[in-house]
Structure 1
Amino acid sequence: MASTHSNHSKGLLLTAIGGMALTVDIPLIKLADGNHWSILLMRSGTTFLAAIVIWLVWRSFSRNAPQLIPGRAGLVVAGLYGLGSIAFITAVYNTSTANLVFILAFNTVFAAVLSWIFLRERPRPVTMLAMLAMVGGVLIIVGSSIGTGHLFGDLMAVSSAFCIASAITISRSSGKDMGFTALVGVLIPGVLAAYMVSKTGFRVEAPWWIIFNGAVIMPISFFCLANGPKYLSGPEVAMFYLLETVLAPIWVWIIFAEVPTRNSLIGGAILIATLVAHSAWQLSESRKRKASAAVQQAA
């Protein structure tokens, strides 16, 4: 029991650090001020190089360093994170920051559904009601984008959320350490971006922002969040992506004065309120289970 509680606490700490680091990703991308293929190339390249350097240093001190790609499951997870990165960067340049991060919060619903289908972790009725409310919130956001030119970007955000949720589910199912797998997966969008840059040209006005993002922020956030499923359920890990949902629009509003639309705020408010209420319910249930287990042990 003590070991299980310790692992859960470790998972919460890891995913909290990763989620918090992720909140500055979009602001740093915007500060770099470049076309999206150039940004994707620099972000992917610096993240991959940082991951390899960290792994080699770790490996030189300990033979217990995690594998870069642990088996077939690792290949699939790397591919999903890579596709998710492509969809994410495309969404950054084709919809508002608020729309993007609110829709990315939908990965909690995808994670719950995928865990239900493939891991037989059936959500409770309260969770299913929360999922329905979140679907309504996302439909409000996406619906408001029809005819505004943001619909493609919103759909890319949905695709990115699905890829992340799928990667989380497979990581949890395998039980393997996927910390470096998520980082190595950026090689896929990096190769595609290199090809596109060769055709369209390279333009990044302030490269130091994206270098910092790729070399520091992405390794921290990807490693921590990709390791979360070892200790937490898929929906729990997905919840920590919500830190970006809450904070990224605030950073962008402060730095760029990018104000969300009314429908985006309404849909986002539904998503955040639902997730806060559901998280509070989960915490209450967890405390009840621990108290019950303690009583049974004492007896």
Structure 2
Amino acid sequence: MNDTALSPLPASVQSRRDERWGSLLVFLSALMWSFGGAIARFIDTPDSWTVVFWRSVWAAAFLVGFMLWRDGWRGTVALFRGMGLPGLIVAACFGTASTTFVVALSYTTVANILLMQAGVPLLAAFLAWLVFRERVSAATWAAIAAVIAGVAIMVSESLDGTVSPIGNGLALLITVVIAVATVLTRRFAHVRMTPATCLGTLFAAAFAASQTSGFAVSGHDMGFLFAFGVINLGLGLAFFATGARMVPAAVAALLGTFEPLLGPIWVWLVHGEVPSARTMVGGAVVFTALIIHIALEARRQSRPVRPGITGLPAPN
């Protein structure tokens, strides 16, 4: 038998295979997250805190099960112990984001929330420069300015009473805390995202439990709450945590834009919720700036240069 038949694949071939697999997983994470608004609109429970509680409980149960299957009892405990302060802050950010997303749906459209989130990578770049003085290129500054302009167009609807200022404020808060989590995740690369996000869902469940008027829901709602927690939040986080390590940051960011792109489409097709004109215009500005910037970043990262912080997308 030829000995070469038993030799491992060349590193370049294995790397390309890993990147293709990772790209698929990151795309699947964005796809799972994009279903959030459409699933939420099926839930009749009027108390948002009840929705947050059950969504978080189901997501936490799934993520714990996923880590136990992947890492075993000892490995899972070690992951939680190894998070440290950065992991706790990231957990708090994701807990805030997942909670605020549900509450914001009571005040504004899915499109408003998701299109604002499209600017997370660029806001993360700004925060990294502000806090850690990481270098930001002129192209990134230009893209940040365009994103600010696009978000301003969307938020301007609050000034004339067309859209609730509370809803837009909550949507903006989601974008900010996800950007903070992105910066910390990239700055402290040793912190595993899966246990941090799992802890975030537990934070959200605990806080919602202290705010809700009751935990009882119908069987119909529980079915959609299960999907909201396991498929939308938990499975999306598991796909992203596994796949994001295998692809360049710019590629992960580009694939992550499928969430704000597809999310409003599902809600429009299933529930007939049509985004306003200003939301569409502002979202188009944000998307144009983001995609142009990611394309430039992908070209830059194809060279042997240390990737920047602007390329990592984050979940709801």
* Alignment TM class, shorter chain as reference: 0.7 to 0.9
Aligned mate of 2:291, from 255, 273, 276: 276
Aligned to 1:180: 195
Q: How many residues end up aligned between the 2 structures?
A: 289
Q: Measure the CA separation in 1 of the matches of 2:246 and 2:135.
A: 18
Deviates more, 1:109-118 or 1:252-261: 109-118
Alignment of 1:237-252 (within 5 A): 239-252=254-267
State whether structure 2 residue 146 is matched by structure 1 residue 133: yes
**Structure 1 gap ranges (5+):** 292-299
Aligned mate of 2:30, from 15, 19, 22: 19
Q: Measure the CA separation in 2 of the matches of 1:228 and 1:163.
A: 22
The question of whether the paired residues in 1 share the 8 Å contact of 2:27 and 2:255 is answered with yes
Deviates more, 1:84-93 or 1:56-65: 56-65
Aligned to 1:28: 39
The question of whether the paired residues in 1 share the 8 Å contact of 2:111 and 2:264 is answered with yes
Q: Could you give the per-residue CA deviations for residues 137-169 of structure 1, whole angstroms, max 9, x where no partner exists?
A: 000000112223421111111111111111111
Aligned mate of 1:41, from 40, 43, 53: 53
State whether structure 2 residue 109 is matched by structure 1 residue 109: no
Aligned mate of 1:225, from 240, 250, 256: 240
Aligned mate of 1:151, from 151, 165, 174: 165
* Aligned partner letter, 2:35: V
Aligned mate of 2:271, from 232, 250, 256: 256
TM-score w.r.t. structure 1 length? 0.84
CA RMSD of aligned residues (A): 3.0
The question of whether the paired residues in 2 share the 8 Å contact of 1:172 and 1:233 is answered with no
Aligned to 2:88: 75
Other structure's SS at 2:79 match: coil
The question of whether the paired residues in 2 share the 8 Å contact of 1:103 and 1:157 is answered with yes
Q: Measure the CA separation in 2 of the matches of 1:54 and 1:274.
A: 36
* Aligned partner letter, 2:188: S
Q: How far does residue 214 in structure 1 lie from its aligned partner after superposition?
A: 1.0
Q: Measure the CA separation in 1 of the matches of 2:45 and 2:180.
A: 30
State whether structure 2 residue 66 is matched by structure 1 residue 57: no
Q: Measure the CA separation in 1 of the matches of 2:144 and 2:14.
A: 27
The question of whether the paired residues in 2 share the 8 Å contact of 1:82 and 1:186 is answered with yes
The question of whether the paired residues in 1 share the 8 Å contact of 2:250 and 2:297 is answered with no
Q: How far does residue 243 in structure 1 lie from its aligned partner after superposition?
A: 1.5
Other structure's SS at 1:19 match: helix
Identity among equivalent positions (%) equals: 24
TM-score w.r.t. structure 2 length? 0.80
Q: Measure the CA separation in 2 of the matches of 1:61 and 1:261.
A: 49
